[in-house]
Amino acid sequence: MPHPTHPRTVLVTGAAKRLGRSIALTLAAGGWQVAVHYRSSQQDAMDTVAACAQLTGGSALFDADFEDETAVRALLPRVVAHFGRVDAVVNSASLFEHDNAETFGFAALEKHLRSNTATPVLLAQALHQHVADRVAAGEADAQGAVVNLLDQKLWNQNPDFVSYTLSKAALEAAGTMLALALAPRVRVVGVAPGLTLTSHMLSDDKFAQLHALSPLGRSSTAEDVAATVKFALENRSITGTTLLVDGGQHLMKFDRDFSLM
Ligand SMILES: NC(=O)c1ccc[n+]([C@@H]2O[C@H](COP(=O)([O-])OP(=O)(O)OC[C@H]3O[C@@H](n4cnc5c(N)ncnc54)[C@H](OP(=O)(O)O)[C@@H]3O)[C@@H](O)[C@H]2O)c1
Instruction: Summarize pLDDT for 2-57 with one digit per residue, the tens.
Output: 444 578 999 999 999 999 999 999 999 999 999 999 999 999 999 999 999 999 88
Q: How many CA atoms lie within 13 A of 31 on its CB side?
A: 8
120 CB near ligand 1 (under 6 Å): no
What is d(CA 28, CA 153) in angstroms, rounded to the nearest whole number?
29
Tell me, in angstroms, the distance from the centre of ligand 1 to residue 191's CA.
Answer: 14
Tell me, in angstroms, the distance from the centre of ligand 1 to residue 38's CA.
Answer: 10
What is d(CA 229, CA 189) in angstroms, rounded to the nearest whole number?
9
Atom index in ligand 1 nearest the CA of residue 96 equals: 20
Q: Which of 11, 42, 69, 94 to mutate to test the pocket of ligand 1 (most atoms within 8 A of CB)?
A: 94
151 CB near ligand 1 (under 6 Å): yes
What is d(CA 60, CA 25) in angstroms, rounded to the nearest whole number?
13
What is d(CA 29, CA 54) in angstroms, rounded to the nearest whole number?
9
Atom index in ligand 1 nearest the CA of residue 17 equals: 43
190 CB near ligand 1 (under 6 Å): no
Atom index in ligand 1 nearest the CA of residue 225 equals: 10
Could you give the domains of the chain? Answer: 9-249 (3.40.50.720)
State the maximum Cα–Cα separation within the chain, in Å, rounded to a whole number: 56
What is d(CA 43, CA 110) in angstroms, rounded to the nearest whole number?
28
Atom index in ligand 1 nearest the CA of residue 19 equals: 16
Contacts of 122 (CB under 8 A, 6+ apart): 69, 72, 73
Provide the pLDDT for residue 3. 43
Tell me, in angstroms, the distance from the centre of ligand 1 to residue 95's CA.
Answer: 6
Q: What is the pLDDT along the chain (261 residues), one digit of tens a residue?
A: 444 457 899 999 999 999 999 999 999 999 999 999 999 999 999 999 999 999 988 999 999 999 999 999 999 999 999 999 999 999 999 999 999 999 999 999 999 999 999 999 999 999 999 999 999 999 999 999 999 999 999 999 999 999 999 999 999 999 999 999 999 999 999 999 999 999 888 999 999 999 999 999 999 999 999 999 999 999 999 999 999 999 999 999 999 999 999
Q: How far is CA 75 from CA 10, 22, 49, 249, in A?
A: 13, 21, 17, 34
149 CB near ligand 1 (under 6 Å): yes
What is d(CA 149, CA 172) in angstroms, rounded to the nearest whole number?
9
Tell me, in angstroms, the distance from the centre of ligand 1 to residue 103's CA.
Answer: 22
